[in-house]
């Protein structure tokens, strides 16, 4: 069984960092289901070069835009640690 979460955001980086809506809801929830696939659906114009991330920020594992799909290798997370 796999768990998939569609992650909202205002902007995303090529490394899977995201600018959300400032409440940390998704980061807190994802700590309870660390093996979930975290997929961002956005427009290509929402992809930016760099987004500063804190230690508690959990990156997306894939970004899907109208132009392509980006798989974020370093963002795989399972059992409370990055693999």
- Parallel, antiparallel, or unpaired for β 11-13 and 47-48? parallel
Query: Residue 83 pLDDT > 70, yes or no?
Result: no
pLDDT digits (tens, 9 = 90+) for 61-81: 999 999 999 998 765 555 444
Residue 56 is predicted with a pLDDT of 78
Residue 82 is predicted with a pLDDT of 44
21 versus 61: which is more confidently predicted?
61
To the question of pTM greater than 0.85 for the whole model, the response is no
> Burial letters for 6-42: b for 16+ Cβ neighbours within 10 Å, e otherwise?
ebebeebbebbbbbeeeeeebbeebeeeeebbbbbbb
């Amino acid at each position: 069984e796999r768990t998939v979460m569609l992650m909202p955001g205002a902007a995303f980086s090529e490394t899977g960092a995201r600018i959300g809506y400032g409440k940390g809801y998704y980061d807190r929830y994802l700590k309870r289901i660390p093996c979930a696939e975290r997929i961002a659906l956005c427009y290509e114009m929402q992809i930016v070069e760099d987004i500063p991330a804190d230690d508690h920020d959990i990156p997306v594992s894939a970004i899907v835009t109208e132009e392509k799909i980006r798989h974020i290798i370093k963002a795989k997370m399972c059992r409370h640690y990055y693999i």
